[in-house]
């Protein structure tokens, strides 16, 4: 058993946005590691199918809880059901999110509010609901950010703003929560295989839409999740996932002028705004 699998064995783990993409793969790998899962997402049918699939693989059947991170009270209910089912909560993974994109002149205040309601306030709802239980178990809080929280690009201002906010949140609360024994890990992926680039600005999935990014640039979800779980098990403060993500962050830190020149060219050429941002 790998060190990360050993770390998660028998731990009670809550995952938001668990019905697809990174959340689904987290559930599968954590189930294989022997974690006791609570899967939260809006669509009960997808959660039930995933839970059944994990159980058929020999793992304990996950608890499926319909949950919308934009609704007050849903996360508290999910945490309460997790504790009732498994007796405690050791790890909370705030994974739910989507991307609102487009040139500024095509967007409205409602677009920005919708983005922040899920990507920022949804994370905060997860934290506030889970924290009392995580403090009891000296557990782990995992926040899914993005490389877009480091590098803002034309046509992605709502998404980048939300991920900058999440990164600031993680950096602020990590030392605070460490005082009570809770470790915070911020995960900042680049392009990972998921449905997020097929979801429109209102959060609706278009399953038949073509993946806009070239295949060579996209990291398989299986590999990304292995890296994510390894970072959490090691107690890292932040993990940049994907090679291109690490490159973008390094450029932002040490040669920001290069990124500014590149994004200026993107804006001048009228780049595709749906694909201009690293997304989780």
* Residue positions annotated with a catalytic role: 159
Within a domain: 279: no
Residue 280 belongs to some domain of the structure: no
CA Rg, the chain, in Å? 18
Residue 192 per-residue DSSP state: B
261 within some domain: yes
What pLDDT band is residue 3 in, cutting at 50, 70 and 90? confident
C-alpha 248/C-alpha 60 separation (Å) is 39
Which residues form the domain of 72? 3-269
Q: What is the pLDDT of residue 210?
A: 55
Residue whose token pair is 């932040």: 238
Computed over every residue of the chain, the mean pLDDT equals: 89
Higher-confidence position of 267 and 51: 51
DSSP state of 150: T
Q: Is the predicted pLDDT of residue 258 greater than 90, yes or no?
A: no
Of 7-21, 60-74, 130-144, 198-212, the range with the lowest mean pLDDT is 198-212
Task: Please count the residues of the chain.
Answer: 280
Six token digits for residue 207? 């399953």
Residue 233 lies in a domain: yes
pTM of the model: 0.88
pLDDT digits (tens, 9 = 90+) for 34-86: 999 999 999 999 999 999 999 998 999 999 999 999 999 999 999 999 999 99
What would the mean pLDDT of 251-264 be, rounded to a whole number?
85
> Can you read off the two tokens belonging to residue 259?
């990124």
Q: What is the CATH number of the domain that holds 37?
A: 3.40.50.720
For residue 241, being part of any structural domain is answered with: yes
Burial per residue of 190-229, b for 16 or more beta-carbon CB atoms within 10 angstroms, e otherwise: bbbbbbbbbbebebeeeeeeeeebeeeebbebeebbbbbb
Three-state SS for 152? coil
Structural domain includes residue 277:
no
Q: Classify 234 as helix, strand or coil.
A: coil
Sorted by sequence, the CB contacts under 8 Å of residue 193 that are 6+ apart come out as: 21, 218, 219, 220, 221, 224
Is 145 within a domain? yes
Please measure the distance between the N-terminal and C-terminal CA atoms of the chain and give it in whole angstroms.
27
Q: Average pLDDT, stretch 144-154?
A: 95
Q: What is the pLDDT of residue 199?
A: 54
Domains: count for the chain: 1
Which phi and psi angles does 194 have, rounded to 5°? -170, 180
The answer as to whether 274 is a domain residue is: no
């Amino acid at each position: 058993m790998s060190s990360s699998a050993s770390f998660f064995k028998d731990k009670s783990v809550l995952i938001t946005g668990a019905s697809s993409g990174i959340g689904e793969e987290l559930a599968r790998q954590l189930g294989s590691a022997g974690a006791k899962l609570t899967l939260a997402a809006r669509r009960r049918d997808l959660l039930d199918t995933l839970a059944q699939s994990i159980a058929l693989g020999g793992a304990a059947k996950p608890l499926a809880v319909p949950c919308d991170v934009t609704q007050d009270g849903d996360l508290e209910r999910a945490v309460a059901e997790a504790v009732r089912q498994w007796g405690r909560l050791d790890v909370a993974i705030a994974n739910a999110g989507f991307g609102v994109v487009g040139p500024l002149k095509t967007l409205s205040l409602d677009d920005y509010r919708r983005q922040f309601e899920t990507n920022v306030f949804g994370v905060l709802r997860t934290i506030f609901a889970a924290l009392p239980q995580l403090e009891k178990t000296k557990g782990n809080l995992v926040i899914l950010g993005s490389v877009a929280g480091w590098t803002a690009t034309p046509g992605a201002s709502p998404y980048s703003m939300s991920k900058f906010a999440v990164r600031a949140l993680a950096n602020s609360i990590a030392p605070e929560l460490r005082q009570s024994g809770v470790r915070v890990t911020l995960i900042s992926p680049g392009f990972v295989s998921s449905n997020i680039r097929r979801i429109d600005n209102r959060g609706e999935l278009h399953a038949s839409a073509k993946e806009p990014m070239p295949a060579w640039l996209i990291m398989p979800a299986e590999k990304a999740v292995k890296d994510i779980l390894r970072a959490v098990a090691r107690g890292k403060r932040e993990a940049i996932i994907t090679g291109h993500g690490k490159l973008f962050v390094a450029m932002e830190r040490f040669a920001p002028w290069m990124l500014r020149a590149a994004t200026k060219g993107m804006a001048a050429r009228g780049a595709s705004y749906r694909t201009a941002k690293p997304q989780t």
